[in-house]
Structure 1
């Protein structure tokens, strides 16, 4: 309001004052003309006329001074207005580079303009903050390039998937030979053609030599004039999908194998019983010194071995129903170690224990002992001479873990994916059912087994279990 009042006053002084001055000047000229006429006619001007003449002269002087003052005030006001406008302009220029900047408050209507600008800047900061949080937390790789091919956006997930750092990618062209962007050919195709790429599966060859399966989608970006401004590319990591697909295939394969194994086991067990029985009858009929007794002994021994395999098949095909109860896993570990702690085991293996306090979980104690027994026996057999087995228990908010780390020969990377397949074994006399049964029992417990191994260093099997059955297993 003050700004408007000053503006009206300045206009009045700058426009009306010259008109008034012109009027008085005209009146002065008329007065001089009267005096000149009076001199010519010989009549003197009266006292009143003389005073009026002086009064008019004073008014003219005042108006001249007022005009000068008005012009000066208008100049000062215009200068201040121009300075304030320049400050706002500079603030807007600075805002284009730093959205966190806040313009200094101004007076009058300029203050209202500055307040509106600050409100718009705050909304812009909020929008940008939400956008940055979305891009940073997104598990999908997001890349944008302008119409000239320069990379404008490269979020952290894109850096993880491609193996290229954000610092290296931003500001460079996607076709830069030093960048070697794995999806550069899809971006180029989208820039050249109007057809987008929809969920195209690609194998990314990363700079570190590893490869990664992703699904890539691209689309062209346009401004409000429908002019092309660039290309958006989104990469979705397919590792989890591939893992789930593999788990489903494995579950289906094992289910079929289990049914087949159950049928075969019953068919094999009956003739094995007959072979064993008749071998024992023959052995009883032979003289103690008869060399044929050696053969009957071998037959019985091998039948027992086959019967053990058949029993393993039955356990794998139809595991017993689980009876879950709260148990202290440290105590279950101690009971299992007592089963494997034979004198020969103790002579070769040093068991190191790192138990957390009161590691409780709902488990079937007998089934969990079977899991631990299989893993401990495998660990001891993986150590050719003397070595160590370190057992660690930990407890988190929603799960517990048991780690069994041996100092054995390790497992080749190419065989890790097959460890839990039935009949797959790396030992000459192994049946390949121990780990398969352990894996199946862990699934019945709602848990999982993680394996980490290094050749000639050792292998770690980590059991992860939920605290309560029916709860969510936190990875």
Structure 2
């Protein structure tokens, strides 16, 4: 606006006013010249003739001034139009590289055009933000490859599933990115043949040698002219699905095993009662000092061990119905620790408590203590010399978490998958039912248990319990 006003003022000062001044003096000079010419010719000019002549001259000067002003105005308009067009062009070029760019506000039609472009850029930014958020937060791996085989898109989930760093894969050819042979074959097939691969389950081997179960769907990408522009791969992590399948299968096995164990336990208990009774009777009838007392003692000890096994079998096969009520979790742990304090002291094991603030859960108090006692006894048995057992409680959202971490010998990797299976044990005198019962009781409380361990580096058991059983 300032530029336009300055230019118009300059035109009036440098062009229009000089033309008016020059015209005024020119008209005076022209009048005198006409009068002189008329006198020499002996002709007398009337006032009307003089006015007509002046009117002609004024029209000519007005035409000159109008032409100059029109040309100048047109120049100003064209100059401003060209500047606005250049501003919009530069803004569009910048938008091609950075959607954050905005075109400065303008007036008139060009202002409306620039405002429309800014609104379009804003919508594109929103769409790009949503797309980026979708790609980053998607639990599924997403890979796109262009028609030449170059990786164009590779989201974090794809990096995790394939075991290939995201920044290392982008812009590389799919044959150079380190994909497994099966994935390379799939991409090659999609680029060369007109077909779509639907959710093909596979065990994918990563570059580090580890494997992960996933389903891969592949499809071809086309532009508006129906020309092939690339390939899209969607990879779905199947670990949770496989875990659920294993849990269902395990639950079915345990249910069948529980029924069998219940029947066997009842059948064993009656003969055991008879053996125990007759052994005690024989022991009483033997004379003092008879070496057969040692035999009856061994028989009685083994009968007690079998009876304990039967009791555990019954507890596993038909656990008592849970009686849920508000339980102070920290107090329940303290009550359980009283039972093992002396043993831990004798074996030079330090018990470290790290309890959170008052945590109350809906649970069966005795079953919670049974869970804790079994885990704590396992932890003590895992520590061959002096060591520590760390116990902590925390509340996260709507669940309580209990951690029991020992500094013992740890668990071998090949045993991790069998820990909670009935009758699996690595102890000479173990029954293999302790952890199975723990797992069962935790599930009865609608919770779950996690284990982390490494040989000679101890074990960590983490129990998750809901605060309320009704959700």
Deviations 1:387-408 (A, max 9, x none): 2212112222211122111111
CA distance in 2, matches of 1:200, 1:431: 43
8 Å CA contact 1:356, 1:394 repeated in 2: yes
> What is the deviation of 1:241?
0.6
| 2:288 corresponding residue in structure 1 | 288
TM-score, structure 1 normalization = 0.86
CA distance in 1, matches of 2:407, 2:50: 127
- Kindly tell me: are residues 187 and 317 of structure 1, through their superposed partners in 2, closer, same or farther at Cα, counting changes over 3 Å? same
CA distance in 2, matches of 1:296, 1:138: 68
> What is the deviation of 1:293?
2.4
> What is the deviation of 1:43?
11
Equivalent residues in 2 for 1:260-299, closer than 5 Å: 260-299=260-299
Deviations 1:234-279 (A, max 9, x none): 1111111111111111101101100111111111111222222222
- Kindly tell me: are residues 262 and 180 of structure 1, through their superposed partners in 2, closer, same or farther at Cα, counting changes over 3 Å? closer
8 Å CA contact 1:175, 1:181 repeated in 2: no
Residue 116 (structure 1) aligned with residue 116 (structure 2): yes
| 1:147 corresponding residue in structure 2 | 147
CA distance in 2, matches of 1:179, 1:238: 19
Secondary structure in 1 matching 2:97 = coil
CA distance in 2, matches of 1:374, 1:435: 7
CA distance in 2, matches of 1:191, 1:43: 104
Secondary structure in 2 matching 1:96 = helix
CA distance in 2, matches of 1:439, 1:380: 19
Secondary structure in 1 matching 2:430 = coil
8 Å CA contact 1:182, 1:206 repeated in 2: no
CA distance in 1, matches of 2:218, 2:396: 41
Residue 446 (structure 1) aligned with residue 458 (structure 2): no
Aligned length: 433
| 1:246 corresponding residue in structure 2 | 246
| 2:401 corresponding residue in structure 1 | 401
| 2:62 corresponding residue in structure 1 | 62
- Kindly tell me: are residues 345 and 191 of structure 1, through their superposed partners in 2, closer, same or farther at Cα, counting changes over 3 Å? same
CA distance in 1, matches of 2:264, 2:379: 30
Residue 312 (structure 1) aligned with residue 301 (structure 2): no
- Kindly tell me: are residues 289 and 242 of structure 1, through their superposed partners in 2, closer, same or farther at Cα, counting changes over 3 Å? same
> What is the deviation of 1:213?
1.1
CA distance in 2, matches of 1:194, 1:45: 103
| 2:38 corresponding residue in structure 1 | none
| 1:73 corresponding residue in structure 2 | 73
| 2:171 corresponding residue in structure 1 | 171
> What is the deviation of 1:150?
1.6
Residue 107 (structure 1) aligned with residue 116 (structure 2): no
8 Å CA contact 1:174, 1:181 repeated in 2: no
Which consecutive segments of 4 or more residues in structure 1 shift more than 4 A? 42-51, 177-182
> What is the deviation of 1:312?
0.8
> What is the deviation of 1:347?
4.0
CA distance in 1, matches of 2:155, 2:282: 78
Q: Which deviates more from structure 2 when the two are superposed, residues 184-193 or residues 256-265?
A: 184-193
Unaligned 5+ residue runs, structure 2?
Answer: 1-40
Unaligned 5+ residue runs, structure 1?
Answer: 1-41
| 1:423 corresponding residue in structure 2 | 423
> What is the deviation of 1:462?
1.6
| 2:94 corresponding residue in structure 1 | 94
8 Å CA contact 1:135, 1:142 repeated in 2: yes
Q: Which deviates more from structure 2 when the two are superposed, residues 456-465 or residues 62-71?
A: 62-71
> What is the deviation of 1:446?
1.1
Secondary structure in 2 matching 1:252 = helix
| 2:84 corresponding residue in structure 1 | 84
CA distance in 1, matches of 2:197, 2:327: 54
CA distance in 2, matches of 1:404, 1:346: 20
Deviations 1:20-39 (A, max 9, x none): xxxxxxxxxxxxxxxxxxxx
- Kindly tell me: are residues 249 and 147 of structure 1, through their superposed partners in 2, closer, same or farther at Cα, counting changes over 3 Å? same
8 Å CA contact 2:330, 2:359 repeated in 1: yes
Q: RMSD of the alignment, in Å?
A: 2.3
> What is the deviation of 1:326?
1.0
CA distance in 2, matches of 1:137, 1:243: 22
8 Å CA contact 1:203, 1:211 repeated in 2: yes
TM-score, structure 2 normalization = 0.87
| 2:335 corresponding residue in structure 1 | 335
CA distance in 1, matches of 2:123, 2:180: 38
CA distance in 2, matches of 1:344, 1:68: 108
Q: Which deviates more from structure 2 when the two are superposed, residues 303-312 or residues 182-191?
A: 182-191
- Kindly tell me: are residues 174 and 181 of structure 1, through their superposed partners in 2, closer, same or farther at Cα, counting changes over 3 Å? farther
CA distance in 2, matches of 1:110, 1:356: 65
> What is the deviation of 1:430?
0.6
- Kindly tell me: are residues 369 and 260 of structure 1, through their superposed partners in 2, closer, same or farther at Cα, counting changes over 3 Å? same
- Kindly tell me: are residues 154 and 181 of structure 1, through their superposed partners in 2, closer, same or farther at Cα, counting changes over 3 Å? farther
8 Å CA contact 2:162, 2:179 repeated in 1: no
> What is the deviation of 1:197?
0.9
| 1:465 corresponding residue in structure 2 | 465
Deviations 1:282-306 (A, max 9, x none): 2222212222222222112111111
